[in-house]
Amino acid sequence: MNRSLEAVFKYKGEAPVDVIISQDDDEAPMTEYLSSLKGRYPISHIQHKDRIAPTIKQGELVGYYYISQHYKFALEHAFSQGYEFVIILEEDIEIAPDFFPYFFKLKEVLELDPTVFCISAWNDNGRPGLVSDAEQLYRTDFFPGLGWMMKRSFWEEVKNNWPAGYWDDWLREPQQRKGRVCIYPEVSRTYTFGLKDGTSQGQFADKYLKPIILNQVNVPWMQKDVSYLLKQNYDPIFLKFVKNAKPVAPEEISNFQDTDLLVEYKKGDHVRSCDTFEIMNDEKVGVLRTSYMDVVIFRRNSNRIFLAPTGFQNEISLK
């Protein structure tokens, strides 16, 4: 918690944001600790005291149900205070120096594009050797979480059906997503350091989470044009890049530099291709992490790689 808060107030500066800390349950040591923070930081402290013992299925973890209850409580409180946008952080997340300018600028996309439902600070594949451009942003069909912004209108849409547990996987379902996407950065603006202490029990932690790069470049976001992320602008550019990428086998990539390359994978047999490049190989409701139109983008050497389904490139018809 200290590490998270220190970064928040170090980089918040004069940004017009209010910090609300929502505590789950009422454990006395944590309550006392959070009360003591009020003398150091301008924060509001709220408590979720009405936990409901859930009914869980075999193999499920009760913690995910308590987390979902807590999320609903915290979001209901925040939006009841009149805020139009809320940024959600967990207590084991550290933020980058340009975290707040990033969200203030990307808020424009959330306001203008009805096909975008969240802005995320996290790249699931943001590890060394896979990313390089601190200013590059992408659209994705996969909800990343781990430091993200949502709009009041989206909360009003989903709050009455908020799930008893596993809220993030629920948001990824077609019934909630409705074809909408998230925006995420090539280089992450958040880093999770609570790796093996949380409910996820360290899943993927050592291999996939611990090496994530936290951006240290102070990008002047308010001076940047992010209109290329709007669907009507992004899709033609994205499809053109994929169409013009050079098809190669994975072992041929080292023969190229500064080139857009296409590597194909068979849908349903993506794990082998993902493992070849050491990118995350799991999917949720058929959507690969960071993918857009089933295409995953990452770097290899100085090349940009488009990992796309077999035949996707040939199906693209450019105007």
- Which of the residues are catalytic? 168
Residue appearing with tokens 């209850």: 69
Q: How far apart are CA 23 and CA 6, in angstroms?
A: 18
Q: Burial of 310 by CB count in 10 Å (0-12 exposed, 13-18 middle, 19+ buried)? A: exposed
Whether residue 293 contacts residue 141, with contact meaning beta carbons closer than 8 Å, is answered with yes
Q: How far apart are CA 307 and CA 297, in angstroms?
A: 6
Q: How far apart are CA 306 and CA 261, in angstroms?
A: 6
> What phi and psi values does residue 19 have, to the nearest 5 degrees?
-105, 120
> What phi and psi values does residue 23 have, to the nearest 5 degrees?
-100, 130
Q: How far apart are CA 313 and CA 293, in angstroms?
A: 11
